[in-house]
Amino acid sequence: MSQEFILEMKDIVKEFPGVKALKGVELKVRPGTVHTLMGENGAGKSTLMKCLIGIYKQTSGQIVFDGKEVNFQSTLQAMNAGISMIHQELSPVPERSVCENVWMGREPRKGICVDHKKMRTECFKLFEKLGLDLDPDEKMGNLTVAKMQMVEIAKAVSYDSKIVIMDEPTSALTEGEVEHLFRIIEELKSRDVAIIYISHKMAEIFQISDDITVYRDGEYITTKPAEELTTDEVVSLMVGREVTEMFPKVECEIGETILKVENLSSGTAFQNVSFELHRGEILGFSGLVGAGRTEIVETIFGVRRKTGGTIYKDGKELNIKSAEDAISNGIALLTEDRRENGIVGLLSIKENVGLANLKRYGFPLNHKKMNQDGNKYKEMLSIKAPSLETPVMNLSGGNQQKVLVGRWLLTNPDILIVDEPTRGIDVGAKAEIHSIITKLAGEGKAIIMISSEMPEVMGMSDRVLIMHEGRQTGILNRDEATSELIMQYATMEPQDQNDK
């Protein structure tokens, strides 16, 4: 084999019961480059990487790494050989320290005991080398999702890998943290490390990619130098069609006030937030990571304790102390982290759809009724799956998100809160989710949408509420919301706003 490539994957086939996920695909990666994998969710990108690092065993095909044919039996075997992966869905051990999470399974030892002093010293060196402001002794569960992501990146780098796979590494990072990650990537490239990069954010892909490979429906489409492609060409190759309606927001009648929030606070997470939400309206929540957006909707939904303020629905004061209270008052929340507190991966599509509404099916469960509901939302939301019995963990990210939308629609909410509804899903599925949200608003549902993607906030919202470090800094109408103005409010202190 030519040493031009550090990795060659040839004719890889992967079959699951009832599904052929990979249909003879290929991948060739050069050392010291960023090789981006593009494709809609379900195209086979993550499945291919799982075959590479030993999570899955390919049905057929050949993997050649560093000049030798390999078939890893576990991720540990792959990491020890020089291939590490940062997964899109984080899986930290929250009760252990940052340091213990980085070195888990390969702790330095002094005899039979773990050498904690050496482990901390190595951790400090690693973080210093990467320029990361992290405390090795901090409990992992106390970190933000963004900082957990940086720990995962540090862990992958610590293996001195020849290939580092990054699956949606910037999904929870701020702009500054993304730039920091890109500096780390450049440092790795300079040491001849290859980066296999999976992302749906076009701007960053063209900023860092050397080569781009596109997959569609489990098939290999093409590989080209990034400089030879445009965004429109990549999207067209990914979906096999042109996506013209990325943000299909239509002007629909905005009705009366359905939700009124006055001076809402929750400890140090956020203080004195006030707004009104109308029927048929999409109210966008914008702000940098850590601004308090998620905490606001968690408080409205009853999963976070309110320490001040009042919530009214249709003019009546609500006293919501649990998610069950919120659901009974016609409020639904599609959470930010679908894996952690959304889907139940081992359960089927129909079981996941019915999960927030089990009283509907009686005891014992009325499976005929569950099937009817499952079929209704599978069809309505175009969920791609062999059957209603398919475990949700086997679906693509976009289809998992649709299952969760179906779950909450089944509760017949008046108010639907969606937190990062398109995070980690492909461009085609994003357009479908946007279309669903717009249709619901057109039917008179009131929508609160949290998003860290500026084009999404501006393209979908009737108004945008902006937060900065737990404080509300402004509300902008659709016609006055520019990316510059939103960012200005997202970085300003409340008193700055009063001075304007």
- Cβ–Cβ contacts within 10 Å for residue 363, how many? 7
Query: Cα–Cα distance between 383 and 390 in angstroms, integer?
Result: 11
Lookup: tokens for 29: 């990666």
Instruction: Tally Cβ neighbours within 10 Å of residue 8.
Output: 18
CA distances from 468 to 271, 452, 465, 486, 491 (A): 11, 13, 10, 11, 6
Distance CA 86, CA 197 (A): 10
Indicate if 235 and 267 belong to the same structural domain.
no
Q: Measured between alpha carbons, how far is 311 from 259 in angstroms, rounded to an integer?
A: 7
The answer to whether the CB of 356 falls within 8 A of the CB of 408 is yes
Sign of CA dihedral 375, 378, 379, 384: negative
pLDDT > 90: percent of the chain: 37
Does residue 330 share a domain with residue 404? Answer: yes
Contact 161, 83 (CB under 8 A): yes
Q: CA 185, CA 254: separation in Å to the nearest integer?
A: 46
Q: Are 358 and 365 in contact (CB under 8 A)?
A: yes
- Given this model, what pLDDT does residue 406 score? 83
Query: For 200-234, what is each residue's pLDDT tens digit?
Result: 777 788 999 999 999 987 899 999 999 999 887 88
Give yes or no for residue 78 having a pLDDT over 80: yes
Give burial (CB, 10 Å; 0-12/13-18/19+) of 374. buried
Residues 324 and 196 grouped into a single domain: no
Predicted confidence band at 244 (pLDDT cuts at 50, 70, 90)? Answer: very low
DSSP letter assigned to residue 479: G
pLDDT score for 270? 95
Tokens for 316, please give them: 């009546």
Q: Beta strands 211-216 and 219-225: pairing type?
A: antiparallel
| Inside any domain, residue 307 | yes
Question: Are 296 and 195 in the same domain?
Answer: no
Is residue 89 included in any domain, yes or no? no
Residues 341 and 194 in one domain: no
* Residue 45 forms part of a structural domain: yes
Are residue 173 and residue 304 in the same domain, yes or no? no
Domain that holds residue 63: 7-82+160-239
- pLDDT exceeds 50 at position 2: no
Dihedral over alpha carbons 347, 386, 420, 199 (to 10 degrees)? 120
The pLDDT value given to residue 41: 61
Mean pLDDT of the chain: 85
CA-CA-CA-CA torsion sign (451, 456, 461, 465): positive
Calpha distance 361→413 (Å, rounded): 18
Radius of gyration of the chain measured on its C-alpha atoms:
23
Q: Report whether 264 contacts 308 (CB < 8 A).
A: yes
User: What is the C-alpha to C-alpha distance for residues 140 and 131, in angstroms, rounded to an integer?
Assistant: 19
Does residue 367 surpass a pLDDT of 80?
yes
Cα 30 to Cα 35: distance, rounded to the nearest angstrom:
8
| Residue 317, token pair as written in the block | 């004061």
| pTM strictly above 0.85 | no
Q: Which pLDDT value is given to residue 339?
A: 61
For every residue of 103-136, DSSP letters joined together read: HTTS--EETTEE-HHHHHHHHHHHHHHHT----T
SS (H, E, C) 416-442: EEEECCCCCCCHHHHHHHHHHHHHHHH
Please tell me the predicted confidence (pLDDT) of residue 395. 81
For residue 387, being part of any structural domain is answered with: yes
Average pLDDT over residues 447-473: 90
Number of domains in the chain: 2
Residue 498 in this model has a pLDDT that exceeds 50: no
- Show which of 187, 212, 239 is a domain's final residue: 239
Helical (H) or strand (E) element with 197: strand 194-198
The amino acid at residue 343 is I
pLDDT of 411-458, one tens digit each? 888 999 998 888 767 677 777 788 888 988 998 999 999 988 778 888
Residue 108 lies in a domain: no
Q: What whole-number distance in Å separates Cα of residue 341 and Cα of residue 336? A: 8
> Are 437 and 351 spatial neighbours (Cβ–Cβ below 8 Å)?
no
Strand order of the β-sheet with 446-450 is 316-318, 308-313, 257-266, 270-278, 471-477, 463-468, 282-286, 446-450, 415-419, 331-334
Position 401 confidence tier, pLDDT thresholds 50, 70, 90: confident
Spatial separation of the C-alpha atoms in residues 476 and 479, rounded to whole Å: 8
Residue 272 gets the label, from left (phi > 0), alpha (psi -120 to 50) or beta, of left
CATH number at residue 491: 3.40.50.300
Q: Do 269 and 416 belong together in one domain?
A: yes
Residue 154 within any structural domain of the chain: no
Residue after which a domain boundary falls, among 239, 267, 285:
239
Do 214 and 266 lie in one domain? The reply is no
Domain shared by 317 and 205, yes or no:
no
Q: Are 49 and 168 members of one domain? A: yes
**45 or 203, which is more confident:** 45
Look at residues 239, 267, 300 and tell me which one is the last residue of a structural domain: 239
Can you state the angle between helices 367-380 and 397-409, rounded to 10 degrees?
A: 120
Asked whether 28 and 196 are in contact (CB, 8 A), the reply is no
Angle between helices 145-158 and 175-190 (to 10 degrees): 0
Residue 375, in any domain of the structure: yes
Opening angle at CA 196, ends 190 and 200, nearest 5: 120
Query: Domain check: are 274 and 337 in the same one?
Result: yes
Considering the domain architecture, whether residues 222 and 319 belong to the same structural domain is answered as no
**At 271, which amino acid appears?**
Q
Strongest mean pLDDT among 55-64, 97-106, 337-346, 369-378: 55-64
Position 3 confidence tier, pLDDT thresholds 50, 70, 90? low
111 within some domain: no
Confidence of residue 247 (pLDDT cuts 50, 70, 90): low
